[in-house]
Amino acid sequence: MQLLNGKETAKAILDSLEIDVAQRAASGKKVPHLAAILVGNNGASETYVASKVKTCSEIGFISTLIQFEEDVTEIKLLEKIEALNEDMDVDGILVQLPLPAHISEKKVIESIDPAKDVDGFHPINIGKMTLGEKDAFISATPYGIMLLLEHYKIETKGKHAVVIGRSHIVGRPMSILLSNNSNPGNCTVTLCHSKTTNLKEICLQADIIVAAIGIPEFVKADMVKEGAVVIDVGITRIKDASKKSGHRLVGDVDFTNVAPKTSYITPVPGGVGPMTIAALMKNTFKACDNRN
Ligand code: NAP
């Protein structure tokens, strides 16, 4: 079994981006500028946005964090997005999800200029990704997983990939990317969800399993074939009195028992999480490069 080290791989990607940004700056070109919108006081969202902003400054990007109170109106939020769409200095816009219930996520996502949609959630980018078009912005978590597979030169062609979870931001795009005629890609894909019957039997046929469910340690050793590649997207914070912080992060895979059966597996934390931020930064650099 070999660990797919997302932390190290993300660092290599970010180091390379830092050099690219410095080169842009040295040749008088503008540096990438990411605008992040945070609504309300969701602790997890605050942590995610803070680490995106921090990463921007570490690699030489400009970032602007725009914060709204929980009760901000949908109209006010849409007006801000429109202003950012028009702002020539801003290359990438992200709105941290989830949003409060009174705001339509669909409306918000669709209001972002697709050329600045570095989260890759806009229907135009999802359509382009589905068609395998190179200029698509691919949502950061699936894109990060593809970069990880590429980095470790994992053979995906002709393999049976089973994706568990069909969310718009992880499972569904992951299933499309793995089935596209690309490298990594060219898998035969089965997409599973909560209504899937025989999940265990399907998983046992998988050469590659991507678990994006949100249920801690859902994937057990008796669901995994010897030698499979296992990608664990799940991150759930559970109480742990033995930790100084009082909690620990757990993935969707029962790592202790599954890992010995696998050829490659991602740890939690330090697997998919850091790759997601690296992929977002790559998208932001691309948005800047496309526009300037
Ligand atoms: P989500 O929107 O809640 O989707 C969960 C999916 O799992 C749904 O499609 C659901 O099926 C399916 N599911 C639920 N119970 C199931 C069961 N018993 N058997 C099979 N499928 C089942 O979650 P998400 O946003 O995709 O996130 C999934 C996990 O990844 C979460 O832990 C989240 O925190 C984590 N995450 C991590 C990163 C990262 O950067 N590492 C990024 C995003 C998300 P239905 O569609 O039928 O309901």
| CATH assignment at residue 59 | 3.40.50.10860
pLDDT above 90 covers what percent of the chain?
A: 97
Question: What value does the mean pLDDT take over residues 31-36?
Answer: 98
For the CA of 164, the nearest atom of ligand 1: 21
Distance from C-alpha of 261 to C-alpha of 25, rounded to nearest angstrom: 47
Query: pLDDT, tens digit, for every residue of 139-164?
Result: 999 999 999 999 999 999 999 999 99
* 159 contacts 187 by C-beta, under 8 angstroms: yes
Residues 75 and 171 both lie in one domain: no
Tokens of 126: 């999802």
Mutation to probe ligand 1, out of 213, 237, 250 (largest number of atoms < 8 A from CB):
213
Query: pLDDT, tens digit, for every residue of 239-288?
Result: 999 999 899 999 999 999 999 999 999 999 999 999 999 999 999 999 99
Question: Which candidate, 156, 160, 130, 164, places its Cα nearest to that of 234?
Answer: 164
* 80 contacts 65 by C-beta, under 8 angstroms: no
pLDDT class of 134 with cuts at 50, 70, 90: very high
Which amino acid residue places its CA nearest to atom 2 of ligand 1? 167
171 lines ligand 1 (CB under 6 A): yes
Residues 109 and 145 both lie in one domain: no
Cα of 18 vs centre of ligand 1, distance in Å, is 32
* 118 contacts 137 by C-beta, under 8 angstroms: yes
If residue 7 lies in a helix (H) or strand (E), which one and from where to where? helix 6-26
| CATH of residue 235 | 3.40.50.720
CA 279 to mean position of chain CA atoms? 7
* 13, part of any domain: no
Distance from C-alpha of 240 to C-alpha of 278, rounded to nearest angstrom: 29
Question: Is residue 291's pLDDT more than 90?
Answer: no
pLDDT of residue 146: 98
Residues 101 and 145 both lie in one domain: no
* 267, part of any domain: yes
Question: Is residue 83's pLDDT more than 90?
Answer: yes
* 51, part of any domain: yes
Q: How many domains does the chain have?
A: 2
Residues 101 and 170 both lie in one domain: no
Question: What value does the mean pLDDT take over residues 4-31?
Answer: 98
Cα of 122 vs centre of ligand 1, distance in Å, is 19
Mutation to probe ligand 1, out of 170, 201, 217 (largest number of atoms < 8 A from CB):
170
* 20, part of any domain: no
For the CA of 166, the nearest atom of ligand 1: 9
Range of the domain at 105: 28-113
What is the DSSP secondary structure assignment for residue 289, as one 8-state letter? H
* 124, part of any domain: no
Distances in whole angstroms, Cα of residue 274 to Cα of each of 35, 90, 145, 246:
20, 24, 10, 22
How do beta strands 236-239 and 247-250 pair?
A: antiparallel
Name the residues annotated as catalytic. Answer: 52, 96, 119
213 lines ligand 1 (CB under 6 A): yes
147 lines ligand 1 (CB under 6 A): no
Residues 59 and 102 both lie in one domain: yes
pLDDT of residue 292: 83
First to last CA, the chain: 44
User: Using CB atoms within 10 A of its CB, is residue 61 exposed (0-12), middle (13-18) or buried (19+)?
Assistant: buried
